[in-house]
Amino acid sequence: MKDKPIIIIAGEPYSIFFEIFFKTFKKKIFKNLRNPVILICSKKLLCSQMIKLKYDFKINEIIFSNINKIKINNKKINILNVNFKFDKTFDKISSKSNKYINDCCDLAFKLIKKNGTKALINGPISKKFFLKKKFPGMTEYFAAKTKRINKEAMLIYNGKLAVSPLTTHLPLKNVVKNISKKKIVIQAKIIDQFYKKYLKKKPKIAVSALNPHCETLNKFSEENNILSPAIRKLKKDGVKIYGPYAADTLFLKNNLMFYDVIIGMYHDQVLTPIKTLYGFNAINITLGLPFIRITPDHGPNNQMIGKNLSSPASLIEAVNFIKKIK
């Protein structure tokens, strides 16, 4: 295998991921990629769901120890198998799949150590069962696995716009105490470096205020005491950054045309508007890791499993993004 692989971790076995993978494969999205696509999952479960969903693709099972001795193309579904015991092809999500998911991730890291990776895509997981409050989300899970805690950033990317929440999967009551000048500076610089390295452009970044209309009745204003000083510091360091701006008007059409990225203070402040604008035509990228990690911007959606009604749009966006980067 000459080229670095694109590694896909299937994630939660009882999610819609196999379905959207089949739909993406059927569209021949992978076929013209130079880099081999390797799916890490249970071969038995994948084949079982393939039959139930009435797809028919050829499988190429790869033995890890032989991976550098063989030629791999994307005409077949290339699999590194991870064993998973199951009774039902489609079932409810539970903690029974935790070891399987962790084994898939460990095998992915082992492959990255051996061959590197063009990018890693992971299918959705259940935060409730897999993360068990150890991490707010998979962004932080991958940061911990790669020893990059507090050096990572979440970027929800669409070709027209990207957003980045300063705090990720936190209750609103915990947001304010997790906002700091240092955190804003680090996150904006990670975004700036990512765009310059992979997208060959210097991004224009807007910062959303925390409080309505950038105002507060309290003596202490986060906009005046935290956000504005951070923005001034970043401007001195050469980052094209602007704000803080009132969140209720920042996403108006006439404003969006000026910016590549909007940094928000909390998750729903920026994810709600970008999903309203673009639906699931966006991807979740973790910045600051030793490799690019991408996930389709949706959860396991267990209630839709087996119905064959889920859209592959976000996974297709992920693959198309990988095609862009050098």
Domain ranges of the chain: 1-152+288-326, 154-284
**How far is CA 108 from each of CA 11, 30, 120, 140, rounded to the nearest angstrom?**
11, 19, 8, 17
Please state whether beta strands 241-245 and 205-208 pair in parallel, antiparallel, or not at all (unpaired).
parallel
- For residues 263 and 271, what is the distance between their CA atoms, to the nearest angstrom? 11
- For residues 36 and 5, what is the distance between their CA atoms, to the nearest angstrom? 5
Q: Residue 53: pLDDT above 70?
A: yes
The stretches of 127-211 forming alpha helices (DSSP H) are 138-145, 181-198
Q: Under a CB-based contact definition with an 8 Å cutoff, are residues 268 and 154 in contact?
A: no
CA-based nearest residue to 301, from 83, 19, 9, 8:
19
Classify 126 as helix, strand or coil: coil
252: confidence class by pLDDT, cuts 50, 70, 90: very high
Same topology for domains 1-152+288-326 and 154-284, yes or no? yes
- For residues 211 and 216, what is the distance between their CA atoms, to the nearest angstrom? 6
- For residues 104 and 12, what is the distance between their CA atoms, to the nearest angstrom? 10
The helix, strand and coil proportions of the chain, stated in percent and rounded to the nearest 5, come to: 40, 15, 40
CA-based nearest residue to 184, from 147, 222, 156, 217:
222
Please state whether beta strands 261-264 and 283-287 pair in parallel, antiparallel, or not at all (unpaired).
unpaired
Tens digit of pLDDT for each residue in 62-101?
A: 999 888 878 888 999 999 999 999 999 999 999 999 999 9
CA angle 306, 274, 149 (to 5 degrees): 85
Which of 15-24, 213-222, 315-324 bottoms out in mean pLDDT, i.e. has the lowest? 213-222
Tokens of 207: 């910062």
CATH architecture of 1-152+288-326: 3-Layer(aba) Sandwich (3.40)
Tokens of 181: 């000048």
- Residues constituting the chain: 326
- For residues 222 and 214, what is the distance between their CA atoms, to the nearest angstrom? 9
Classify 324 as helix, strand or coil: helix
Q: What is the dihedral of CA 98, 104, 108, 110, to 10 degrees?
A: 90
Looking at the DSSP bridge assignments, the partners of residue 256 are none
Looking at the DSSP bridge assignments, the partners of residue 121 are 8, 294
> Quick count: other Cβ atoms within 10 Å of Cβ 20?
23
- For residues 261 and 314, what is the distance between their CA atoms, to the nearest angstrom? 19
Q: Residue 217: pLDDT above 80?
A: no
Q: Tell me which CATH homologous superfamily contains domain 154-284.
A: Isopropylmalate Dehydrogenase (3.40.718.10)
> Quick check: bond before 244 cis, omega within 30?
yes
**How far is CA 35 from each of CA 5, 28, 51, 247, 319, rounded to the nearest angstrom?**
5, 14, 27, 40, 11
The pLDDT score that the predictor gives to residue 1 is 64
Tens digit of pLDDT for each residue in 140-194?
A: 899 999 999 889 999 999 989 999 999 998 899 999 999 999 999 999 999 999 9
Q: pTM here?
A: 0.90
HSE, side-chain direction, 13 A CA sphere, residue 292: 27
- For residues 249 and 231, what is the distance between their CA atoms, to the nearest angstrom? 19
Q: Under a CB-based contact definition with an 8 Å cutoff, are residues 137 and 22 in contact?
A: no
Which of 53-67, 110-124, 125-139 bottoms out in mean pLDDT, i.e. has the lowest? 125-139
Q: What is the mean pLDDT of residues 206-222?
A: 86
